Amino acid sequence: MHLLLVGTSYQRAPVELRELLAYDRDLRREALERLSAGGAEAAVLSTCNRTEVYAVADDTAALEERIYGELATLSRLSHSELAPALYTVADEAAALHLFRVAAGLDSMVPGEAQILGQVREAYNGAREARTAGAVLHRLFRQALRVGKRVRTETAIGENPASVSSAAAELAERVFEELAGRRILLLGAGKVADLTAANLISRGVGEIVVANRSPERADALARRFGGRAVGLDAVEEELEQADVVVASTSSQGVVLSAQQVGRAMRRRRGRPVFFIDVAVPRDLDPAINQLDGCYLYDIDDLERVVAESVAGRREEAVRAEAIVSEEADGFRAWQLSLDVVPAIASLRAKAESIRRAELERVESRLASLSPSQRRAVEALTSQIVAKLLHQPTVRMKEAAAAADGVLYADAVRHLFGLGDDADPARQPRK
Amino acid sequence: MEVSLLLFWPALAGYAEAAVAYAGDTVRPGRLVRAATWGVRLGWLAQTALLVAQAADADGFPWGTWAGSLNLFVWMCVGAYLIWGCRAPFRLLGLAVMPLAAALLTLAWAAGGVGEPARSEFGDLFLAFHVGLILASFAGFTLAAALALLYLVQERRLKRRSAGVLRLRFPSLQTLDTLTVRTIAFSLPALTVGIGIGFARLGSEGGAFDAIMAVTLLAWVVYAAFLVLRWEAGWRGRRTAYLALAGFLLVVLVRLVLTPFVHF
């Protein structure tokens, strides 16, 4: 049985092509049914940055052809149009690729967390469609474990990768948690919108929107379940706000250090975190000099994000080592599949001989008490187990060294195990 | 060799290892934290056993000397640190506490405070309450100073808007500020009662009002002012952090400068 991956990602295909190759839930289910026809295993990972088909079958050439056909049908592109954007990877390399994907090492931002959920979704899709067999079950479970391990044992996913999450994380360095905090939004720009959404996802208590246009303020306030005020009420609102996000299109300063200083005196020193994402800036830079005030503008936040992403790249080196170790584990498991059927046949044959011999002397054992019968059963089972222990261990060791098929054939020949259906008998290429 | 001296070395090794590991953790966050935490735990357990062995050997209060009380003081500081120190955001606190603990324990050892305890001329009960309460409060103030120091470092990092501000996992400013206040609020009553017992004994047994008493009283005034300004005048943040450090300077003056010249 061979594992095959055919797919594309943001590294190979522009968004126009990725759009054509995106699977929704229903399309994926139909594709899995078609791909698994003939007994193959199949799973589809489809995100905004990648579409990858993982499949397991004996005949890799036919399998690859079928996956290409599937992707061509989906995208309505010809084979030749599609081919330059697709990559094909087999066996251990395919496993290594999925582990790197799950670890976030193949993502645009190293260590991003969303991909792990998307790998889980791909696995669940294959399980629901009953197209995941022994290999894909093992592969995806291990990939999910690798993803968790990398995020637990390295700091790859710890620091923010976007301006909005950096702003929220910085606010948490001042207030510990944002639950119950009050946010004052000055203006209703796109970045402020994103920042506010990020802060809300962290549980902020109340949002107040101040904007020159009351209609836009009302609309944004309604969207976030907050209230709208005019720009003239900002100084008053500042008395209660914990985080201020500024993004107006004003050409001058909207909030001066003097205004903030007056508000700080009324706040009795309670800190405020200011985020200024407007260009030109809305907030007087001198605000940062005031006691208890922390001001970050768009350049500050972008520097924090750049440093954070660089830190993630450093951690990626450690993550690669974990991924590589797990890929070795998967390879060993896959190789052990070569000898598992032979070991199972050998044990079954030994057990049948043991039972047959006991039945042959049944008349002579009839006089034994139940406890004596149990002792004979246990004794004969132990002899069989001890005799087979060493060959079993040796065969598994040989499998790990890629000699499993040879040993499995030798065992079949020596013990006359016969040619039972064994998909793993083909030598590994 | 005495059992207590044998236990000193693992205690010191634990604290020193934790200090080094915490320093290493600032360079490569996440790698050495477990080793540091276990260094603190095992070192503290070894020092607990050391104190138990000293108590078993002594026929009175075993930590009446300056060096002995320094030994007990270190144990209290690390014990107080252990309450928060094992939680992820407070690990950096270990960077301030553990080198200090290792240095002071070495000093206590060099001055003979970890071996067989010397007999004090004062009554055991008096010493146990007076010294114990004052040392416990000083341990609390030491921890509060470490928290205040951490606050000032983090506050400066946030104000300077350095690109790597999120690289090190600091506790939030609010948490550091609140914990500093709480630690001082718990420690000040212990200092008050400890001073009260000292004055009661001074009244009944006689004796002179010395420099240690004066500076200890001054420290009490600073910490009391800290709490009043915080709760009544709304002081917080940088100003209270500086005040906590000023109080700690007086604690250092009492513990390391004045007390070695006084014989109980």
Model ipTM? 0.78
- What is d(CA A185, CA A183) in angstroms, rounded to the nearest whole number? 6
Task: Say if the Cβ atoms of A159 and B237 lie within 8 Å.
Answer: no
Which residues of chain A have a CB within 8 Å of the CB of B235? 269
Query: Is A293 a catalytic site residue?
Result: no
Residue B158 has its nearest CB partner, among A173, A269, A303, at: A173
Element (H, E) at A273: strand A272-276
Is the backbone peptide bond immediately before A391 cis, with ω within 30 degrees of 0?
no
C-alpha closest to that of B157 among A237, A336, A70, A300 = A300
Alpha helices in A154-251 (DSSP H): 163-175, 190-201, 214-224, 234-237
DSSP class of B118: P
Residue A249, classed as helix, strand or coil, is coil
- Which residue of A lies nearest to B232 if distances are taken between CA atoms? A268
- What is d(CA B85, CA B87) in angstroms, rounded to the nearest whole number? 5
Report in angstroms the alpha-carbon separations of B54 from B49, B61, B68, B171: 9, 10, 10, 37
Element (H, E) at B206: none
Task: Say if the Cβ atoms of A155 and B30 lie within 8 Å.
Answer: yes
- What is d(CA B64, CA A30) in angstroms, rounded to the nearest whole number? 82
* Pair of tokens at residue A390: 């060493």
pLDDT for A45-99, tens place per residue?
Answer: 999 899 999 999 988 899 999 999 999 999 999 988 899 999 999 988 999 999 9
* Pair of tokens at residue A260: 């903030």
Q: How far is A191 from chain B (nearest CA, A)?
A: 20
Task: Say if the Cβ atoms of A170 and B165 lie within 8 Å.
Answer: yes
pLDDT for residue B251 is more than 50 = yes
Which residues of chain B have a CB within 8 Å of the CB of A167? none
Residue A269 has its nearest CB partner, among B158, B165, B237, at: B237
Torsion of CA B90, B91, B95, B97, to 10 degrees: 60
- What is d(CA B208, CA B115) in angstroms, rounded to the nearest whole number? 31
Inform me whether the C-beta atom of residue A261 falls under 8 Å from chain B C-beta atoms.
no
Q: How far is B181 from chain A (nearest CA, A)?
A: 15
Indicate which of B27, B157, B165, B178 best probes the interface with A, i.e. most A CBs within 10 Å of its own CB.
Answer: B165
Inform me whether the C-beta atom of residue A271 falls under 8 Å from chain B C-beta atoms.
yes
- What is d(CA B102, CA B23) in angstroms, rounded to the nearest whole number? 14
Residue A427: its pLDDT value, please? 38
Where does residue A262 rank: exposed (0-12), middle (13-18), buried (19+ CB within 10 A)? Answer: middle
Torsion of CA B134, B137, B143, B148, to 10 degrees: -110
Which residues of chain A have a CB within 8 Å of the CB of B234? 268-269
- Opening angle at CA B220, ends B219 and B226, nearest 5: 90
Which residues of chain A have a CB within 8 Å of the CB of B158? 170, 173-174, 294
- What is d(CA A375, CA A358) in angstroms, rounded to the nearest whole number? 13
Where does residue A369 rank: exposed (0-12), middle (13-18), buried (19+ CB within 10 A)? Answer: exposed
Task: Kindly indicate the confidence band of residue B118, based on its pLDDT and cuts at 50, 70 and 90.
Answer: low
Report in angstroms the alpha-carbon separations of B202 from A94, A107, B116, B206: 82, 73, 28, 5
Least confident of A94-98, A357-361, B32-36: B32-36
> Chain centroid to CA A91: how far?
20
What's the mean pLDDT in A198-213? 86
pLDDT for B162-205, tens place per residue?
Answer: 888 887 778 899 989 999 999 999 999 999 999 999 888 888 77
pLDDT for residue B145 is more than 90 = yes
Top-confidence residue, A128 or A342: A128
Report in angstroms the alpha-carbon separations of A383 from A296, A340, A350, A362: 75, 21, 10, 19
Task: Say if the Cβ atoms of B174 and A175 lie within 8 Å.
Answer: yes
Torsion of CA A391, A397, A399, A403, to 10 degrees: -90
Q: How far is A301 from chain B (nearest CA, A)?
A: 8
Task: Kindly indicate the confidence band of residue B23, based on its pLDDT and cuts at 50, 70 and 90.
Answer: confident
Residue A288 has its nearest CB partner, among B159, B163, B175, at: B159
The active-site residue out of A48, A62, A348, A406 is A48
Which residues of chain B have a CB within 8 Å of the CB of A155? 29-30
Which residues of chain A have a CB within 8 Å of the CB of B152? none
Strand order in the sheet with A243-246: A227-229, A206-210, A182-186, A243-246, A272-276, A293-297
* Pair of tokens at residue A300: 């500050």
What's the mean pLDDT in B237-248? 94
Question: Residues, chain A, total?
Answer: 429
Indicate which of B173, B179, B242 best probes the interface with A, i.e. most A CBs within 10 Å of its own CB.
Answer: B173
User: What count of Cα atoms within 13 Å lies in the side-chain half-sphere of residue A175?
Assistant: 27
Which residue is listed with tokens 């469609």? A129
Q: How far is A352 from chain B (nearest CA, A)?
A: 53
pTM, full prediction:
0.70
Residue A6, classed as helix, strand or coil, is strand
Residues B240, B226 contacting (CB under 8 angstroms): yes
